[in-house]
Structure 1
Amino acid sequence: MRDALWAALKTVNDPELHRDLVSLGMIERAEVEGGVAQVKVNLTTPACPLKGQIEGDVRSAVLGVPGIQDVVVTFGAMVRTGGQPALPGVKHVLLVGSGKGGVGKSSVAVNLAAALARDGARVGLLDADVYGPSVAHMLGRSAERVTANAERKMQPLEAHGLRFLSMANLSPAGQALVWRGPMLHSAIQQFLKDAAWGDLDYLIVDLPPGTGDVQLSLTQTIQVTGAVIVTTPQDVALIDAARAVDMFRKASVPVLGVIENMSYFVAPDTGLTYDIFGRGGAQKLGGLPLLGEVPLDLEVRKDADAGAPAVLAHPDSAAAQALTGVARTLAGRVSVQALSHLPDQLPVV
């Protein structure tokens, strides 16, 4: 019966990877006792957007095996890389960029990181917007200072289940940094290579707006898994977002998709929807996948000022649910990209 069970599992495909769970090495355990099958599936990310579909497909396939009356499906997760890790212990570096300021890039980056951490991933967040750091404030840790560990490496701070570094925790509050390119490059190098990030599934990098020195330093320093572009729907934002897309492509950084922020507004008193900045403009960005539309929501701003990401403070709000969906979709795309470079048959765990 065990052979029949494994044969049934081999008919179940991962919905995103379009390969069966057995050849992908995602089945950690499959055994039958007393007519009950026990199956443990190791997902490619804790934030798998299609976990429910996988569970349903496994149950359907296994219950078709003669002699099996029930199946118990449990899940683990193992984020994989398509090659060498970007940094020691860091599996994926994901850049969050925009062509211009004011599109909510930092709040999106913070909420993506918090959503992935809440789902069980090990997440770091690097505030690379050196001139205008805001991540520490949005996480409620702007008063804390970064220290060094015994190996004289910067020790990332912790908040809401994730690790982060920001210039706001290294320089006096309100002090302007008047730095030229070489100093920015040195700072980015230190944030990446002289920090004790530990073991991370994802390091989310909140970039400054535009296409400047920080972006170039990052893409030239480490192997980046991919970038996402945050934009609002109106043409003036899309014009600059297209420039950011072009920059990443020239730097050979895969653009995993676009997030349309402030996509629409739902009036709390009437429930009517208003497209304040237009809607659907992100779909014009060179055929890039749309990772999600995030509504304009007052709670997101309030939560950011209070130092609590909206996905944690108000998880049932429309914006928080949209951001959670974006995070899971992004994690799925990272898995697809990583596993597309792996051999057809992986060893069974």
Structure 2
Amino acid sequence: MAFDKQRVLDSVQEVLAGVPIPGTPTNVIKAGCIQRVIARDGEVTVVVEFSKEISVHAEKIKEQLEQVVSAIDGVERVQILQKAPEKTDSPAPGGPSSVGAQEVPGVKHIVAVASGKGGVGKSTVAVNLAIQLRNLGFSVGLLDADVYGPSTPKMLGTEGSRPQATDRNTIVPLERFGIVTMSIGYLLEEDSPVIWRGPMVTGLLRQFLFQVEWGELDFLILDLPPGTGDAQLTLVQSVSLSGGVIVTTPQDVALLDVHRGIQMFSRVEVPIIGIVENMSVFHCPHCGEKTEIFSAGGGEAAANKFGTTLLGQIPLDPAYMRAGDDGTPSSVLDPSCELSRVMAGVGQQVAAAVGASPAS
């Protein structure tokens, strides 16, 4: 029998209304505890948020939620994701977060890949960086933290796969091309819009950081949401980062975007490993003529202006886009292509910057 998403969502709404808040006459829906319900292929994910007063009953409520949703016909698996509570006090500029940066158990180095705006190829860089670090002999994980437009499932060819929940209330990440990976995209239906409030983004990503069984990793690559807003800043404040890589394009206006990214990392004293310039130049496949479609020199100018390193320049080539769309990144599909060569160099520089060496 085909999975009837609408029927399941209606049933979830009905059974959740019957889950009470202990010691009160209300239920979890009226109390505003239910933030989002995602239903897909027999699995239901319920994202919850509890106020300070209700949080003392959190475990009991989550247990009840799992029980009633599991009983719905057609539901095979249930995940309850609890959003971290929103903080009322904002950290001072340049100061530590109120929570404090945390280590992810078993992970030696966390590197964030960021961009001042979307559409510059940040995810392409993050995915290929992860693969090239794996090629260097490191154990690598990739967290697609771009909850607004998760693209790594498509780029890795794992769109139809589903991570599994454990009885320890953790998630087992997927493995592809020798790297382990997690993304909100695995919990959403294809083409489903993702509408999150900033604090909710932070809470969900913290769960992906600390409740996913990453295992022992040399590197965890974070593909951050584009931009430099509160969600991005809070995320980089809450986890202990070894460094940040900023992705940009060649235009002069890229200086502004790079500046925003550098300011974000600087506020929390995260070292900037360097800049990757994407879409740097186009080589005509017929005549070989070089065309600088998006102007030239933006990445190098930004690196010089802000005293950091230009890690590499990736040319504009439709083949790289097709590789990502087909689910096999260029670093896997064609190790001899220019993107692979550039990103291999970027991987070496990232490893050197954090003082990492692969196990012999």
TM-score (normalised: structure 2):
0.68
Tell whether the 8 Å contact from 1:85 to 1:91 is kept in structure 2 after alignment.
Answer: no
1:300 maps onto 2:320 in alignment: yes
Alignment match, 2:348: 328
Alignment match, 1:181: 198
Which string of whole-angstrom CA distances, capped at 9 and with x for unpartnered residues, describes residues 306-336 of structure 1?
Answer: 1011011011111221121111122111218
Which string of whole-angstrom CA distances, capped at 9 and with x for unpartnered residues, describes residues 155-193 of structure 1?
Answer: 111111100000110122222122212211110110111
1:96, distance to aligned residue in structure 2 (A): 0.2
Tell whether the 8 Å contact from 2:199 to 2:231 is kept in structure 1 after alignment.
Answer: no
* Structure 1 residues 53-132: aligned runs within 5 Å: 86-132=103-149
Alignment match, 1:7: none
1:118, distance to aligned residue in structure 2 (A): 2.1
Whole-Å Cα distance in 2 between the matches of residues 217 and 149 of structure 1?
Answer: 28
1:223 maps onto 2:243 in alignment: no
Which string of whole-angstrom CA distances, capped at 9 and with x for unpartnered residues, describes residues 242-264 of structure 1?
Answer: 11111111121111100111111
1:288, distance to aligned residue in structure 2 (A): 1.2
Matching residue's letter, 2:197: R
1:85, distance to aligned residue in structure 2 (A): 8.6
Alignment match, 1:209: 226
Alignment match, 1:312: 332
- The alignment covers a number of residue pairs equal to 255
* Range with greater deviation from structure 2 (197-206 or 239-248): 239-248
* Structure 1 residues 1-349: aligned runs within 5 Å: 86-285=103-302, 286-335=306-355
Whole-Å Cα distance in 2 between the matches of residues 290 and 277 of structure 1?
Answer: 17
Residue identity over aligned pairs, in percent, reads 46
- Taking CA–CA contacts closer than 8 Å with sequence separation of 6 or more, which of the two structures ends up with the larger relative contact order? 1
1:152, distance to aligned residue in structure 2 (A): 2.2
**Does the residue aligned with 2:340 lie in a helix, a strand or coil?**
helix
1:145, distance to aligned residue in structure 2 (A): 1.3
**Does the residue aligned with 1:95 lie in a helix, a strand or coil?**
strand
Whole-Å Cα distance in 1 between the matches of residues 151 and 230 of structure 2?
Answer: 19
1:271, distance to aligned residue in structure 2 (A): 1.9
Structure 1 segments, 4+ long, off by >3 Å, are: none
**Does the residue aligned with 1:203 lie in a helix, a strand or coil?**
strand
Alignment match, 1:9: none
1:124, distance to aligned residue in structure 2 (A): 0.3
Matching residue's letter, 1:210: G
Where in structure 2 are there 5+ consecutive unaligned residues?
Answer: 1-100
Whole-Å Cα distance in 1 between the matches of residues 102 and 196 of structure 2?
Answer: 30
**Does the residue aligned with 2:118 lie in a helix, a strand or coil?**
coil
1:104, distance to aligned residue in structure 2 (A): 0.5
**Does the residue aligned with 1:235 lie in a helix, a strand or coil?**
coil
Tell whether the 8 Å contact from 2:143 to 2:183 is kept in structure 1 after alignment.
Answer: yes
Tell whether the 8 Å contact from 1:296 to 1:319 is kept in structure 2 after alignment.
Answer: no
Tell whether the 8 Å contact from 2:254 to 2:299 is kept in structure 1 after alignment.
Answer: no
